[in-house]
């Protein structure tokens, strides 16, 4: 039985992770900002109460992260997989329209929050014989691939997540904790839009296959949802 924590689990890729992982031998802590409004998650939890628990967690708030991990720690002493999935995207952001507040918010959701969450969960991760961290990045966070302007807040905060993942992968290597970043593809969610290239089912199926095959040599790498290396 694998114990797994997922952020932004109420819709999009986060909800798809929950639905696919429930079909495996797992115990899930599904984090979201407002569990009382997470209807699909709540229904799933009612039918599998011993395997799926909803936890309030706003990854843009240090206090919320600390409170969420306190709650998780009261229920388990081990996390085998932590999926930092929560994300936001502001469309049509230009150099003219860029706001300091938006940059800060994106850095919280994509970089600072995920890192603080990992740090709070470290005792639980270290208790696992083979802990893995999957940080959802984006091709828009790739410096090599950045060929179009715009998306200042999103791209720079995902690039920060990439570097933070490299930092922690090196620091946690001797603890046996594997940390990677993944581009989930262009996916049909409310973020990706209806014209995106792949479905959440395809994306999450690919990412879970990637996670399953990860070993120590993979830590600190940037992957695509199909398991190939992504340029930094």
Ligand X SMILES: NC(=O)c1ccc[n+]([C@@H]2O[C@H](COP(=O)([O-])OP(=O)(O)OC[C@H]3O[C@@H](n4cnc5c(N)ncnc54)[C@H](OP(=O)(O)O)[C@@H]3O)[C@@H](O)[C@H]2O)c1
Residues that bind ligand X (CB under 6 A): 7-8, 10-14, 32-34, 58-60, 85-88, 109, 136, 138, 183-184, 186-187, 189-192, 196
Nearest-angstrom CA–CA distance, 171 and 105: 26
Q: Is 65 helix (H, G, I), strand (E, B) or coil?
A: helix
User: Would you say 136 or 169 has its CB closer to ligand X?
Assistant: 136
What's the min distance (Å) between Cβ of 216 and ligand X?
25
Listed in sequence order, the residues at least 6 apart from 217 whose beta carbon sits closer than 8 Å to its beta carbon are none
Nearest-angstrom CA–CA distance, 132 and 151: 29
What's the min distance (Å) between Cβ of 124 and ligand X?
19
User: Would you say 26 or 151 has its CB closer to ligand X?
Assistant: 151
User: Would you say 88 or 104 has its CB closer to ligand X?
Assistant: 88
Q: Is 183 exposed, middle or buried (0-12, 13-18, 19+ CB in 10 A)?
A: buried
Place of tokens 């410096």: 143
User: Would you say 129 or 226 has its CB closer to ligand X?
Assistant: 226
What's the min distance (Å) between Cβ of 176 and ligand X?
26
What's the min distance (Å) between Cβ of 198 and ligand X?
8
Paired tokens of 104: 């800060």
Short-list 171, 168, 78, CA closest to 125? 78
């Amino acid at each position: 039985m694998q114990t797994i924590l997922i952020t932004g689990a109420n819709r999009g890729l986060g909800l798809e992770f929950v639905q696919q992982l429930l079909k495996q031998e797992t115990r899930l802590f599904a984090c979201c900002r407002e569990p009382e409004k997470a209807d699909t998650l709540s229904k799933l939890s009612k039918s599998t109460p011993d395997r799926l628990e909803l936890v309030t967690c706003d990854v843009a708030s240090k206090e919320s992260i600390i409170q969420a991990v306190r709650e998780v720690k009261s229920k388990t002493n081990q996390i085998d997989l932590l999926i930092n999935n929560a994300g936001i995207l502001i469309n049509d952001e230009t150099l003219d329209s860029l706001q300091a507040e938006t940059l800060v918010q994106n850095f919280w959701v994509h970089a600072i929050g995920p890192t603080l969450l990992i740090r709070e969960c470290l005792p639980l991760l270290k208790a696992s014989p083979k802990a893995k961290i999957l940080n959802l990045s984006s091709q828009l966070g790739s410096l090599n691939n950045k060929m179009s302007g715009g998306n200042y807040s999103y791209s720079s905060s995902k690039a920060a997540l990439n570097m933070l993942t490299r930092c922690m992968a090196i620091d946690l290597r001797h603890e046996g904790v594997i940390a990677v970043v993944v581009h989930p593809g262009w996916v049909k969610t409310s973020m990706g839009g209806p014209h995106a290239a792949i479905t959440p089912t395809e994306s999450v199926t690919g990412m879970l296959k990637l996670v399953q095959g990860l070993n120590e040599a993979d830590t600190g790498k940037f992957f695509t949802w199909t398991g190939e290396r992504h340029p930094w």
